[in-house]
Amino acid sequence: MKLASSLCIGAVFLALGLLKPPLTQANDFHELVKSARSGTLEAQLHLGSSYYHGQGAPRDYEKSALWYRRAAEQGAVSAQYHLGMMFAEGKGVPQSFVEGYGWIVLASEQGESKAAQVLGDLRNKMKKDDLILAEEKAVRLKGRLIF
């Protein structure tokens, strides 16, 4: 009898809009995408990570790079770092040490601790002309982004 009355009370609260039904995983993901599309930085970061790792979404490096780029362009340090790594490794984007270096420099200048080692590794892999282009890329990115 207690269970029946609890269910009835729950149904009344639900009907009055005082209680929301539990969201399904699909609904949660749909809301996350909607939030990311509207420009919510945290949602963009979460989607970038979800697609990269295949957790909560199918692994898709191209979609990961898209969402990390959107977050990186809003100044998210971790997104700048991850997007730079994706360029350096050619995951979801065409491989480009120059592009990767530019993004990782931004992350480094904002305190990303892993960036310094990666920048050193990238410097060792690039020709002198490419390194000059990479430094110029970092300057252009800094001038374009909001921090």
pLDDT, tens digit, 9 for 90 and up, residues 10-33: 455 445 554 444 444 567 888 999
Q: Which long-range contacts (CB under 8 A, 24 or more apart) does 124-128 make?
A: 125/97, 126/97, 126/98, 126/101
What is the number of structural domains in the chain? 1
**Does 11 reside within a domain?**
no
**Does 3 reside within a domain?**
no
**Does 74 reside within a domain?**
yes
**Does 6 reside within a domain?**
no
**What whole-number distance in Å separates Cα of residue 70 and Cα of residue 38?**
11
If you average pLDDT over residues 113-128, what whole number do you get? 94
CATH number of the structural domain spanning residue 88: 1.25.40.10
Q: Cα–Cα distances in Å, from 75 out to 2, 16, 50, 112?
A: 53, 41, 19, 12
**What whole-number distance in Å separates Cα of residue 49 and Cα of residue 130?**
29
The structure's pTM equals 0.79
**Does 13 reside within a domain?**
no
**Does 50 reside within a domain?**
yes
**Does 109 reside within a domain?**
yes
If you average pLDDT over residues 82-108, what whole number do you get? 97
The candidate with the shortest Cα–Cα distance to 51, out of 68, 35, 34, 37, is 68
* Domain interval for residue 59: 24-144
